[in-house]
Structure 1
Amino acid sequence: MGRILIEKDIEAAVKGGSVYAAGGGGWADHGRMLGRAAVNAGQPELVSIDELSDDDWIATAAAIGAPASTTPWEMWGIDYVKAVQLLQRELGAPLAGLMVGQNGKSSTLNAWLPGAILGTKVIDAVGDIRAHPTGDMGSIGMAGSPEQMIQTAVGGNRAENRYIELVTRGATARISPILRTAADQSGGFIASCRNPLRASYVREHAALGGISLALKLGEAIIAAEAKGGHAVIDAICKTTGGEILAEGVITDKSVNYTPEAFDIGTITIGKGDSVNVLHVMNEYMAVDGPDGARRATFPSVITTLSPEGEPLSVGDLHEGMRVFVLHVAKEIIPLSSSVRDATVYPPVEAAMGIEIARYALA
């Protein structure tokens, strides 16, 4: 049986999703808006993939952003719904459910509002348990596929006449950049629905149970909050199976925004024999220790927490701030086929100037 998502699940989804955001952006308040809109509009239902027939259609509900965009983004809840409607119209068939490309501050809730209004199930599956910089990393094996896919995008700043509705069809690698351009043109953040696939394919290639993991983590965080920061951090470690890899004061932040809409650089914690360097591409992708030895690498979860146990985005960090670094090893989380796909790593390695694939695929 499915689980009807209700008011109390919103904060759990946002808080659990914020840990799995792995330092990435997204907006917690946008997640709360989506959740409140959904539970007020209807009864979004979270279901396991096993509740669907093999030939049911599932697509990915996503928000696409150029995170440091200087133009004012504006995205309404109805934009997520319209994106689904446009995809269904182009597909010529109804979607049975929606999954999301990754967990995050708002992305954990991306499928709730269309679920409440259109009746599409919220599938307990994600393209990646944690957040990642490129769409390919959450595309459950479609990144290099020549198969024709449908992708839609809806949203934009209405006052500046930036509102866009887009339907595009083609190989995933060719049409995903079109949606990124649309996000930039719309004001920096746009709702999308993409890559309709059969449930049998999703069952084999997605990270199953990803939404439940975020909800369970959020519930544990909420239960621990009254006892203070140490209790929250303990609860996060216990619930995820993770550990605190490092703690200390930030001694250097060198992160720059690129024309390709990525934040790339390093965060240095501590110095000398206790130094740890976090490598950033929107999210934390790797941690190197004092001798330059690799201590953690994507797709493991890497997250910075404040002493109060609050997950901090890269943009929240500054020199002099004390942080804890959470590490949840990839061996203990469900992995999708996209993070096991060697073709998704070269662009990220080229942009960051470090090795990822050798560790990620080991």
Structure 2
Amino acid sequence: MRQLTLNDVKAAVKGGSIFASGGGGWVDHGLEIGSAAITIGRPKLVSIDELPDDAIIVTATAIGAPAGTTDWQMLGKDYIKAVQLLQERLGRKITGLMTPQNGMSSSINGWLPAAALDLVVVDAVGDIRAHPTGKMGSLGLAGSLDYETIQVVAGGKPETGSYIELVVTGTPAKTSNILRIASDMSGGFIACARHPLPAKFIKENAALGGISRAIELGNAIIKAEKEDTSKVVDAICQTTKGKIIGQGTVIKKEIRYSVGYDIGTITIDTEDGLLTLHVMNEYMAVDNQKGQRVASFPDVITTLEPGTGRPVSVGHVKEGEQLSIFNIAKENLPLSTGVKDSSVYPEVEKVLGIDLAKYALEGHALVR
């Protein structure tokens, strides 16, 4: 157990921005929420081994499209309110909070409500990288008919009538769909608390140490930035065992917003040919011009500025700019039960019109 600091906030946002895979929230939002957390309380990061097996852990997150295409508002108090509402509905003490994914602000998701409500931040994630659906970060429960979950959302603009508080119970699949609609109705981005589970279940199904990994990567980036920004990409690759799989000019960006998702493709012209990045909030796959899969979820796929190594999210990608495509193969990542759950893929495959499950689950070879 250790107390989280402002340096940890900065590092978690830096490292989380790589694991964000083009989505995962906003840097400014992560810094604001993280700074508020260490200002109003003393949030502590704990490993799952430090908690009793029956301690209740809740996932704190945000739901919506990160590309900035909607008029949304979510305040720090919304994260707190969502956890409070879940606590009231559960009727039992919550011990800690975890995040379903790393990201620009996602890595910080639980820090503010943990500080405000005297809970701990658990060093575990539902997925080491960011992903589009709540089902992917649901620790293998997405298709379960036996687990009755509680899911809560809070957020929106009261002045426009879009503020929503919603508590739902039921199967993870059905309640997740309801929350996605609520996010869209609130403006496209909303705070969420969900899935109260015992620590023993988290230990057996989560990607453990996910927050520490983001902080470690962030510290490596910060150190490289102080020495020479040209060393940042090397620092990212060395720390993660990742690599650059292509670099070139963005020649086409076709992204549309639909019910809480940013969907489409980004095409980059590299010296080895065209690479197409498939987007559903985050980068889910990369195909070459022969239609061969180069990288695929649950790989980390992130676009970087070639000179500085700064991550460029989907919403900030512009046609005509130079970008590098960074990849961490799934073999070099801790994988949760959630990304090994076959039930989470059909929905995303239908939207994108590509195969994902066969690469994620069956180990099909990629063109590396």
For Structure 1 versus Structure 2, the TM-score category normalised by the shorter chain is: over 0.9
Q: Map 1:53-92; keep pairs closer than 5 Å.
A: 53-67=52-66, 72-92=71-91
Which one is further off, 194-203 or 176-185? 176-185
CA distance in 2, matches of 1:100, 1:272: 38
Q: Give the equivalent residue in structure 1 for 2:366.
A: none
Q: Is the Cα–Cα contact under 8 Å of residues 276 and 290 in structure 1 kept in the other structure? A: yes
Q: Map 1:102-141; keep pairs closer than 5 Å.
A: 102-141=101-140
> Is residue 202 of structure 1 aligned with residue 208 of structure 2?
no
Deviation at 1:289, TM superposition (A): 2.2
> Is residue 4 of structure 1 aligned with residue 3 of structure 2?
yes
Change (3 A) 1:232 1:68: closer
Q: Give the equivalent residue in structure 2 for 1:313.
A: 313
CA distance in 1, matches of 2:263, 2:70: 20
Change (3 A) 1:6 1:288: same
SS of the residue 1:151 aligns to: strand
Superposed CA deviations along residues 75-120 of structure 1, whole A, max 9, x for unmatched, are 2211111111111111111111111111111110011111111111
- What is the TM-score when the length of structure 1 is the normalising length? 0.96
Deviation at 1:67, TM superposition (A): 4.3
State the Cα RMSD in Å.
1.5
Change (3 A) 1:336 1:273: same
Change (3 A) 1:3 1:357: same
CA distance in 2, matches of 1:295, 1:202: 32
Superposed CA deviations along residues 165-188 of structure 1, whole A, max 9, x for unmatched, are 211111111111221222222222
Superposed CA deviations along residues 227-259 of structure 1, whole A, max 9, x for unmatched, are 34420101110111101111111122222223x
Change (3 A) 1:206 1:306: same
Q: Is the Cα–Cα contact under 8 Å of residues 273 and 290 in structure 1 kept in the other structure? A: no
Q: Give the equivalent residue in structure 2 for 1:358.
A: 358
- 1:164 maps to amino acid: I
SS of the residue 2:107 aligns to: helix
- 1:167 maps to amino acid: V
Superposed CA deviations along residues 277-320 of structure 1, whole A, max 9, x for unmatched, are 21111111111124222111100101000121110111111221
Superposed CA deviations along residues 156-209 of structure 1, whole A, max 9, x for unmatched, are 212223322211111111111221222222222211110101111110111100
Q: Give the equivalent residue in structure 1 for 2:300.
A: 301
Q: Is the Cα–Cα contact under 8 Å of residues 65 and 262 in structure 2 kept in the other structure? A: no
SS of the residue 2:338 aligns to: coil
Q: Give the equivalent residue in structure 2 for 1:21.
A: 20
Which one is further off, 295-304 or 65-74? 65-74
SS of the residue 1:335 aligns to: coil
Q: Is the Cα–Cα contact under 8 Å of residues 30 and 106 in structure 2 kept in the other structure? A: yes
Deviation at 1:273, TM superposition (A): 4.2
Which one is further off, 205-214 or 111-120? 111-120
CA distance in 2, matches of 1:174, 1:359: 26
Which one is further off, 207-216 or 226-235? 226-235
Q: Is the Cα–Cα contact under 8 Å of residues 162 and 186 in structure 1 kept in the other structure? A: yes
- 2:200 maps to amino acid: S
Q: Give the equivalent residue in structure 1 for 2:185.
A: 185
Superposed CA deviations along residues 55-84 of structure 1, whole A, max 9, x for unmatched, are 110010011124467653222211111111
Q: Give the equivalent residue in structure 2 for 1:275.
A: 274
CA distance in 2, matches of 1:33, 1:68: 18
- Identify unmatched segments of 5+ residues in structure 2: 364-368
Change (3 A) 1:72 1:318: closer
Which one is further off, 237-246 or 172-181? 172-181
Q: Give the equivalent residue in structure 2 for 1:171.
A: 171
Change (3 A) 1:340 1:82: same
Q: Give the equivalent residue in structure 2 for 1:254.
A: 254
- 2:218 maps to amino acid: G
CA distance in 2, matches of 1:26, 1:139: 18
SS of the residue 1:129 aligns to: coil
Which one is further off, 218-227 or 298-307? 218-227
Percent identity (aligned): 56
